[in-house]
């Protein structure tokens, strides 16, 4: 991802101060990529737990791969090894940060019971009210941020 020439809107997403972000745009323009880069930079910078939700398991795994690639490019020494090494669904860093990806399907039950500082909602316009009811309590104990992106 290091050879990307970022558009102004992508730079704006990357440089946005902590807070909620909602991005609605066309298909195949780099929404997920820019949020993956942002996630990698955030968890490297300070202890942060990011819960990534996606409708499908394949997309959830893809986001983890994208985050891991950016971490490897920036500071691969931070990636834990051994029993805590990255999996298809989770990244653990030496600074205590984590990124976990959960496919939420139609009900969102797969995200119940998690806590996070950032809740990343991939293709959020496709989520049902049940999913949002299940996912948003992730932030109750942290007062965290929601990063949401979608194609209309």
**pTM, entire model:** 0.94
pLDDT tens digits for 83-140? 999 999 999 999 999 999 999 988 899 999 999 999 999 999 999 999 999 999 999 9
What pLDDT, on a 0 to 100 scale, did the predictor assign at position 2?
57
Contact 93, 72 (CB under 8 A): no
Q: Rounded to an integer, what distance in angstroms lies between the CA atom of residue 28 and that of residue 151? A: 9
User: What token pair was written down for 82?
Assistant: 């051994």
Q: Rounded to an integer, what distance in angstroms lies between the CA atom of residue 20 and that of residue 109? A: 23
Average pLDDT over residues 13-32: 94
β-bridge partners, 21: 147
What pLDDT, on a 0 to 100 scale, did the predictor assign at position 106?
86
What pLDDT, on a 0 to 100 scale, did the predictor assign at position 1?
58
pLDDT tens digits for 33-53? 999 999 999 999 999 999 999
Which of 149, 138, 121 is CA-nearest to residue 22?
Answer: 149
Average pLDDT over residues 67-87: 98
């Amino acid at each position: 991802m290091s050879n990307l020439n970022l558009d102004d809107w992508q730079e704006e997403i990357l440089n946005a101060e902590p807070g909620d972000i909602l991005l609605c745009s066309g298909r195949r323009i780099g929404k997920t990529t820019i949020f993956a880069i942002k996630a990698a930079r955030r968890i490297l910078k300070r202890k942060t737990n990011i819960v990534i939700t996606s409708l499908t398991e394949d997309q959830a795994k893809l986001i983890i791969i994208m985050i891991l690639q950016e971490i490897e490019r920036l500071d691969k020494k931070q990636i834990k090894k051994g029993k805590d090494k990255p999996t298809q669904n989770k990244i653990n860093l030496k600074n205590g940060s984590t990124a976990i990806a959960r496919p939420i399907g139609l009900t969102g039950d797969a995200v119940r019971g998690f806590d996070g500082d950032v809740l990343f909602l991939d293709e959020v316009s496709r989520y049902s009210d049940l999913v949002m009811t299940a996912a948003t309590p992730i932030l109750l104990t942290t007062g965290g941020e929601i990063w949401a992106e979608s194609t209309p």
